[in-house]
């Protein structure tokens, strides 16, 4: 079973931003897909199980952006 969650992230403005967020989130255990869209600020994460919001926040912070919360 997989869990898909959409998060709202501020600070993304371009493809490079999307790549940075995607790379950090893809490194989390269980993540199978990440789709970041700078124009909407939405990041869709699919994982084998629901992710811990703090782990997601830490990964987004590491990429240099801010997790606002779930969209």
Task: Check residue 67 and give its pLDDT.
Answer: 98
Residue 12: domain span: 3-70
Looking up residue 66, the CATH number of its domain turns out to be: 3.30.70.100
Q: Could you give the CA distance from residue 56 to residue 71 in angstroms, rounded to a whole number?
A: 13
Domain count, the chain: 1
Element holding 3 (H helix, E strand)? strand 3-10
Pick the closest to residue 35 from 45, 20, 24 (CA basis): 45
pLDDT at 65 over 90: yes
pLDDT of residue 31: 98
Rounded average pLDDT over 55-66: 98
pLDDT in tens, 5-53: 999 999 999 999 999 999 999 999 999 999 999 999 999 999 999 999 9
For 4-70, the three-class secondary structure string (H helix, E strand, C coil) is: EEEEEEECCCCHHHHHHHHHHHHCCCCEEEEEEECCCCEEEEEECCCCCHHHHHHHHHHHCCEEEEE
What pLDDT was estimated at residue 1?
Answer: 78
């Amino acid at each position: 079973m997989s869990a898909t969650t959409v998060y709202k992230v501020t600070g993304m403005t371009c493809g490079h931003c999307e790549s940075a967020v995607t790379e950090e989130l893809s490194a989390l255990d269980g993540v199978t897909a990440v789709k970041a869209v700078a124009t909407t600020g939405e990041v869709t994460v699919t994982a084998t199980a629901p992710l811990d919001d703090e782990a997601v926040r830490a990964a987004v912070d590491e990429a240099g952006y801010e997790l606002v919360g779930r969209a």
